[in-house]
A and B are shown apart, each in its own frame.
Chain A
Amino acid sequence: MSDVACEISNLEKSFGPNQVLRGIDMKLPAGQVSVLMGANGAGKSTLVKILCGVQLPDAGSIKLFGSSFQPKSPIEASKNGVITVHQSINDGVVPDLDVTSNLLLDGLAHPGEGFLLNRSLMKARAAEIAKVIGYKGNLDAIVSRLGVADRQMIAIARAVACSPKLLILDEPTSSLSATEAKRLFAVIEKLKNDGVAVLYISHRMSDIRAIADRIFAMRDGQISGEFEGDSLDYEGAVTAMLGKKMTDFEISISAVSSPVLQLCNLRLSADSKPLDITVSRGEVVVITGLLGSGKSLLSSILFGLEKPANGQMLLDGSPFEPKNPANAIRLGVHMSPKDRANNAIVSDFDIGANLTLPFTKFFSNFGFTSLKRQQAACSSMIDTMGIVCQHGADMVGTLSGGNQQKVIVGRWLLRECKLLILDEPFQGVDIKARRDIGAHIRATSDNRATLVFVSEIDEAFEIADRILVLHEQSIVGQHVNKNIDLAELLSQVSGNTESIEQAEMVR
């Protein structure tokens, strides 16, 4: 019924030894919305970056309406009608300019537009664009004073104003309210009728139900499933995205003793449902959920980076209100954050200094670092974690991703703690390193409570005693890691309300 607007074949991209895209094949039809789903690190953003000219592919080809398309810069991509609204809103707006200038920015940046600004003409054009998207705010307002939702709408309006042929929207509704999202969907509907192909990146079932014509599920740099038709198989797509390869892993469930962490009626943010979680000594609890389900927020709260809206947190029975990470560590909570490159690795340091970073006090005498003790601790951690390196004095940047992650997880195992939190400990890690890390976490878990946040289900199966499912900042499922009903678990992850209600009735 419709032409193919964009055809991607066998697209590959590597960063060093890390192959991010392993042969992507996609056809995006004109006049349709194609949704792209994929967990963290699946390669979505790399794909988007190639499409909008930020990065060049290593292999493969892209065709735009039949002709070859290989943008070398974002300007070239937008000239060809490929317009992207990035997830980070601040990429889409210039905060210090007013709404009018923002809406017309692409025109202003265009060479040959004239030298002087014609204010009244600009305002008239901006008003037109604002009308299309249904933006009713003041066009003279400075963008930095506007809320997130308005900024998002402006970024989208700007993209629409460029009359795109292929519009890429990366999590566009993440900061929009329901009514604003509806307005956006109306705009998308209009674009569809004009024959624009839309590539829409989101996990939200409500979005997908409202606008999707097809779903691509992405996993490990490949398209792992394509779904279309009248009744889109959302659950099937989530399954394809998360992968359900059951591993031959056999977990012997630990015996539960006294509770270490208790969260009672905790609301992560003002408008979320209260949640209750208990993690006991010797237990490894995995919390899973999609992007935006509240995993990061919960881990930040537990480590003193954020404050919960209300509710109570207890650690070993006494109130637990960490003021900052240092305070949390003092109270016996260790957290290995996600995204090691930004949050954990000190690339100027060697392995030993990276390992001991939080505990320099214990590796120094009167403030003077004791290299001897550091080396001893470092080489024993290298042995137990199986870190592949020549020496503890190797710079951490020389290690592979998996070994860097071992260093980062090992950092928090150097000293005993009451509660160990691991946020995405298997991110960007090969299967061998993943097994090593998982085995070591379980082997050392007897004397503490362990809480692990992962978005990939099979990672959860490899390490958990208990799996909790988080959806829209509340717990919607709870499973002991033995003979889990995978279909039920996946439907909970995807936020299928029926099965959640059933689960609640059972409870």
Chain B
Amino acid sequence: MNKDKLKEFAIRYGFILLAGLLIVFFSIFASGFAGPRSAVFIFQSVAITGILALGVTCTLVVDGFDLSIGSVATSALMLSAYMMVVLEQNAFIAVLACLLMGAAVGLINGFLIVKMRVPDLLATLGMMFLLIGLQRIPTEGRSISTGMRLPGGNLAEGTFAEGFLWLGRHRIDVVLEKLIPVPVIIFLVISIIIWIFLEKTRHGRLMYAIGSNERAAALAGTNVSGYKILAYMISGVTASIGGILLAARLGRGDIASGTNLLLDSVAAALIGFAVLGAAKPNAFGTAIGALFVGILLQGLTMMNAPYYTQDFVKGAVLVVALIFTFALSSRVRGGNH
């Protein structure tokens, strides 16, 4: 009995406890780790992947999966640069175009999955390829920056709008001067919105019902197709927001950036399964999962771990989290049946 309780405690709070221990450990052994600037840096390093991970969480909730998020983000990066630098539009139009592009990609993903009955992994894999290719066509595979030579022979004369760069670079004064970057605030706001949507609204609940037993949800009159499409649209829009922030930070349409976005954000969402013993996709867990990876990498970097060990560390965390979720918590749950 006592052993069971201990196990349940470990499953519920193990991951958060581990994160706390890591923070204490790094605060002691990595000089400069403890402090507001360092904390903000961690948030900033995970903001974009976190935003993408929140979107993929929504598709995981309906028992789907979105592999196209990384390429939606890089497409948004290229599209925003193209809108401003080549087409010389303002920041608002550029942002709007990216959001619409994300929603449209989500709609097409949902349509392929729901109406064309393409399995989710394959549909979004196809979409990923398609977007990676598509974003290279307008510039013949080159990055976009002011003054570049266009395929037609003219020079691109537009520039990144100040307002657009503000999204990625501005820091807001909170206690300390220029402390919190805008992307971190956007990440926190989206976390809260997705959390409220999934946990506190009937739509979120119906999406969880679809993920748990699609047939039961359908027989209870749920619009299964509609909610699935909605999930992919949310995923597309959040991924495009991630892309916009990346573009605003870089200040150019860099064709080679964002390659790690997909794996990092999927890992964060999956690590989130283990947080609070949820054993299912959830917004809070996803945000914590992203931060966990950020804390670990920041701490290790400050302790002079070389950059090339980063992916190994992420992979190890993911595997441990998955063991937490699937081996331990399912065993405790299984005992009830």
Residue of A with least CB distance to B213:
A346
Residues on B with beta carbons closer than 8 Å to the beta carbon of A361: 202
Question: By the criterion CB–CB under 8 Å, are B212 and A369 in contact?
Answer: no
Query: Bound state CA distance, A349 and B213, in angstroms?
Result: 10
Judged by a CB distance under 8 angstroms, whether B6 is at the interface is no
> Within the complex, which residue of B201, B203, B209, B336 is in contact with A346, where a contact is CB–CB below 8 Å?
B209
With A326-B223, A357-B220, A397-B337 as contacts: A348 and B212 at CB distance below 8 Å:
yes
Tell me whether A353 and B219 are in contact (CB under 8 A): no
Residues in B neighbouring A357, C-beta threshold 8 A: 206, 209, 216-217, 220, 222
**Docked complex Cα distance between A326 and B280 (Å):** 27
What is the minimal beta-carbon distance from A268 to any residue of chain B, in angstroms?
19
Question: Could you tell me if A347 and B202 are in contact, using CB atoms closer than 8 angstroms?
Answer: no
A343 in contact with B216 (CB, 8 Å) = yes
User: Are A325 and B220 touching (Cβ within 8 A)?
Assistant: yes
- Taking a contact as CB atoms under 8 Å apart, the answer to whether A326 and B222 are in contact is yes
> For residue B336, which residue of chain A has the nearest CB?
A398
Interfacial residues of chain B within 191-213, with CB under 8 A of chain A in the complex: 200-203, 205-206, 208-209, 211-213
A328, A329, A348: most-surrounded residue (chain B CB, <10 A): A348
CB closest chain-A residue, reference B211: A348
Q: Residue on B with the closest CB to A357?
A: B220
B136 at the interface (CB under 8 A from A): no
B337 touches A16 (CB 8 A): yes
- Determine the main DSSP class of B at the interface with A: helix
A448 to B208 CA separation, bound complex (whole angstroms)? 32
* A349 & B336 in contact (Cβ 8 Å cutoff): no
**A397 — which chain B residues lie within 8 A by C-beta?**
333, 336-337
A397 to B337 Cα, complex, angstroms:
6
Q: Are the C-beta atoms of B220 and A411 separated by less than 8 Å?
A: yes
CB contact between A345 and one of B201, B208, B216, B218 (< 8 Å): that residue: B216
A residues less than 8 Å from B337 (CB atoms): 16, 397-398
B221 at the binding interface (Cβ < 8 Å): yes
A335 within 8 A of B: yes
Chain B residues closer than 8 Å to A303, beta-carbon distance:
219
- Say yes or no: is A315 at the interface (Cβ < 8 Å to chain B): no
A325 to B223, CA, bound (A): 9
| Contact present for A360 and B206 (CB under 8 Å) | yes
With the chains together, A353 CA to B219 CA distance in Å? Answer: 15
Indicate if A314 sits at the interface (CB-CB under 8 A). Answer: no
A75 interface contact, C-beta 8 A: no
Q: List the A side residues contacting B216 at CB < 8 Å.
A: 342-346, 357
B149 within 8 A of A: no
Q: Please tell me if B178 contacts chain A, counting CB pairs below 8 Å.
A: no
Given the complex, which residues of A lie within 8 Å of B205, measured CB to CB? 353, 360, 369
The answer to whether B218 touches A325 (Cβ under 8 A) is yes
Interface 1/0 per residue, A327-369 and B, CB below 8 Å: 0111000010100001111111100010001101101100111
Q: What is the bound-complex CA distance between A437 and B125, given in angstroms?
A: 48
Interface size class of A (residues with CB under 8 A): 20 to 34
- The answer on a CB contact under 8 Å between A347 and B221 is no
Instruction: Give B234 Cβ to nearest chain A Cβ, in Å.
Output: 15
The CA of A245 and the CA of B333, in the complex, are separated in Å by: 39
Residues of chain A contacted by B215 (CB below 8 angstroms): 342-343
Q: How far is the CA of A325 from the CA of B218 in the complex (A)?
A: 7
Check if A94 is an interface residue, CB within 8 A of chain B. no
C-alpha spacing A335/B216, complex, angstroms: 11
- Cα of A329 to Cα of B219 in the assembled complex, Å: 10
User: Which residues of chain B are within 8 angstroms of A348 by Cβ–Cβ distance?
Assistant: 208, 211-212, 280
A391 to chain B, nearest CB (A): 14
Asked if B212 and A349 sit within 8 Å, CB to CB, the answer is yes
Tell me the bound Cα distance from A247 to B27 in angstroms: 74
* Least CB separation from A16: chain B residue: B337
* In the complex, chain B residues whose CB is within 8 Å of the CB of A398: 336-337
Neighbouring B residues of A369 by C-beta, 8 Å? 200-202, 205
B219 near A360: Cβ-Cβ < 8 Å: no
B221–A325 touching, CB < 8 Å: yes
Query: Is A395 positioned at the interface, with any CB of B under 8 Å from its CB?
Result: yes
Measured CA separation A335–B220 after assembly (Å) = 8
Name the interface residues of B213-262: CB closer than 8 Å to any CB of A: 213, 215-223
Report the nearest B residue to A369, measured CB to CB: B202
Which A residue sits closest to B201, measured CB to CB? A367
Is the pair B221, A329 in contact by a Cβ cutoff of 8 Å? yes
Contact bitstring B64-93, A, C-beta under 8 A = 1, else 0: 000000000000000000000000000000
Given A346-B213, A348-B280, A397-B336, CB of A368 within 8 Å of CB of B200: yes
Min C-beta distance of B199 to chain A, whole Å: 9
Q: A346-B213, A364-B201 are in contact. Are A325 and B219 (CB under 8 A)?
A: yes
| Neighbouring A residues of B280 by C-beta, 8 Å | 348
Q: Which chain B residue lies CB-closest to A339?
A: B215
| Interchain nearest-CB distance for A375 vs B (Å) | 14
Docked complex Cα distance between A395 and B334 (Å) = 12
In the complex, A344 Cα to B212 Cα: how many Å? Answer: 11
When distances are taken between beta carbons in the complex, the residues of chain B under 8 Å from A346 are: 208-209, 212-213, 216-217
Q: Specify the chain B residue showing the minimal Cβ separation from A304.
A: B221
B221 touches A345 (CB 8 A): no
With CB as the reference atom, state the residue of chain A lying closest to B278.
A348
Kindly identify, within residues 230 to 268 of chain A, every residue whose CB is under 8 Å from any CB belonging to chain B. none
State in angstroms the CA–CA spacing of A343 and B215 once bound together: 5
A337 to B213, CA, bound (A): 14
Contact flags B137-179 to A (C-beta < 8 A → 1, else 0): 0000000000000000000000000000000000000000000
Give CA–CA (A346, B61) in the complex, Å: 13
Cα distance A363–B200 in the bound complex, in angstroms: 12
Q: How far is the CB of B53 from chain A (nearest CB, A)?
A: 21
Q: Which A residues from 385 to 417 make CB contacts under 8 A with B?
A: 395, 397-398, 411
B221 touches A358 (CB 8 A): yes
B166 to chain A, nearest CB (A): 32
Shortest beta-carbon distance from B81 to chain A in Å:
37
B163 smallest CB distance to A (angstroms): 32
- Whether A337 touches B212, Cβ cut-off 8 Å, given contacts A364-B202, A367-B203, A368-B200, is no
CB distance from B43 to the nearest CB of A (A): 28
**What residues of chain B lie closer than 8 Å to A328, measured between beta carbons?**
221
Chain A residues whose CB sits within 8 angstroms of the CB of B219 once the complex forms: 303, 325, 335, 337, 343-344
A349 lies within 8 A of B209 (CB): yes
B300-337 interface (Cβ within 8 A of A): 333, 336-337
**Interface pairs (13), CB distance under 8 Å:** A303-B219, A325-B219, A342-B216, A343-B215, A344-B220, A347-B212, A349-B208, A358-B221, A360-B206, A364-B201, A364-B202, A369-B200, A411-B220
* Residues of B participating in the A interface, judged by any CB pair closer than 8 Å: 200-203, 205-206, 208-209, 211-213, 215-223, 280, 333, 336-337
> Which residues of A are at the interface with B, using a C-beta cutoff of 8 A?
16, 303, 324-326, 328-330, 335, 337, 342-349, 353, 357-358, 360-361, 363-364, 367-369, 395, 397-398, 411
Contacts beyond the supplied A325-B218, A357-B220, A398-B337: 9 A-B pairs with Cβ under 8 Å: A344-B220, A346-B212, A348-B208, A349-B212, A357-B216, A360-B206, A367-B202, A367-B203, A397-B336
